[in-house]
Chain A
Amino acid sequence: MSKKNLVKAAVVGALSAGLVLSAGATKAASPNDMEKCYGVAKAGMNDCGGKGTGHSCQGQSKTDGDPNDWLYLKKGSCEKIIGGSLTSGYKKKGR
């Protein structure tokens, strides 16, 4: 039998008995459980009716300059991520 027919047979076999599902076990938590909220609030995205928006990004607006400058400025926790391309010359595939 070809693979296609094998798959077809498997699908028919799997579904022929009929599927019986039971209610999800983790459904117990209330969606209004405020305790869960604490700590996950996002910053208000549209708050700034003022013009203070440039604050955290000041001095970065110039359109000139090397588009790869970000790379040389890079200073964050990515230094704690090791392996892959960073140590073994790994080449990214499939994109």
Chain B
Amino acid sequence: MSISGKSSFKKSKIQGVGIGLRSCHYQSIIQHKPRIPWFEVISDNYMIEGGPELNYLESIRNDYPIVMHGVGMSVGSVDDLNMDYLGKLRSLKERFEPAWISDHLCWVSADKRYFHDLLPLPYTQESIDHVAKRVQRVQNVLGERILLENVSNYMTYKANEMTEWEFLSNVAEAADCNILLDINNVYVSSYNHKFDPFLYLNEIPVNRVKQFHLAGYQDKGLYLFDSHSEKVKPPVWDLYEFAVTKFGSIPTLIEWDDDIPSLSDLLTEANKASKIIWK
């Protein structure tokens, strides 16, 4: 990458296979500037007053385009929307200019208590209406459409009125937001709840899906666990190939949050996805 290309690179489009920015890789990225098309940044980690983390992000942002991905919006909670959180998110957006902002279709808080875990919603019209209203407020504050991600799921509400894919599609339509489709989560949930993951993908509206996530699960015997601690597993690669056929070569992220490997191992994993996406 030539020096003159730098500023255009900063503004360049998000395409191909990116990886999640993790602090253990800061130094390596800043020093070696590896060929990675873009990074996904956990917004919540930078909702801080100051300090080195923001400097690192700024430095890396100068060389790479980013998207921001959050875990704390709690868009499905019945607690009031956390305006402090949204204000910080907006400030981060203005400072670091992510190509887009995403969070999860779930609730992480209730009764003013944060669980820091992605809890699934019952698939009901009430949930759709509730989430749609909140997403619209979020989108007003941020001044842009957000992406909502399907979460991995381990329990089934008795109140469910529809399937997960119907729920996800309906929320996206009602809220007029986009979808971050986590292929691993689709597979994990399909295994845990015994549905057909290909059917799931077939039912999601093509025009709403703007990003894929890929990650590795752990096989716990009775169920699959979305651990983000391993390589992407073969059935998830199969499902991803199908997703690329259906939705096109949309930007894909390799997520790895636990037992994080070296940057070069991550890039090897990303290259596998690149081969599929650019086939």
> Contact residues of A with B, CB < 8 Å?
32, 34, 36-53, 55
Contacts and interface: CB of A to CB of B under 8 A. Distances in A.
B231 to A, nearest CB: 14
A50 B27 contact: no
Nearest to A37: B52
Contacts of B258: 48, 50, 52-53, 55
A56 to B, nearest CB: 9
Q: Identify whether the interface residues of A are mostly helix, strand, loop, or mixed.
A: loop
Residue with the highest number of chain A CB atoms closer than 10 Å, among B27, B56, B226, B258: B258
Interface stretch (B2-10, B18-26, B159-167, B237-245): B18-26
B52 A49 contact: no
Given A37-B55, A41-B52, A41-B56, A46 B227 contact: no
Given A50-B228, A51-B152, A43 B24 contact: yes
Contacts of A47: 20, 22, 42, 45, 257
B229 A34 contact: no
A51 B23 contact: no
13 contacts: A37-B55, A42-B23, A42-B53, A46-B44, A46-B116, A48-B71, A49-B71, A49-B104, A49-B255, A50-B229, A52-B218, A52-B229, A55-B258
Contacts of B118: 49, 51
Contact of A44 (B23, B55, B152): B23
A46 B42 contact: yes
B215 interface: yes
B41 to A, nearest CB: 10
Nearest to A43: B23
B111 interface: no
Contacts of A51: 117-118, 152, 225-227
Contacts of A50: 152, 215, 226-229, 255, 257-258
A49 B56 contact: no
Contacts of A49: 42, 69, 71, 104, 118, 149, 228, 255, 257
Contacts of B226: 50-52
Given A37-B55, A42-B53, A48 B26 contact: no
List the 4 closest pairs (A to B, CB-CB), nearest first.
Answer: A50-B228, A52-B227, A52-B258, A46-B44
B245 to A, nearest CB: 26
Interface string B112-130: 0000111000000000000
**Residue with the greatest number of chain B CB neighbours at <10 A, chosen from A49, A53, A55:** A49
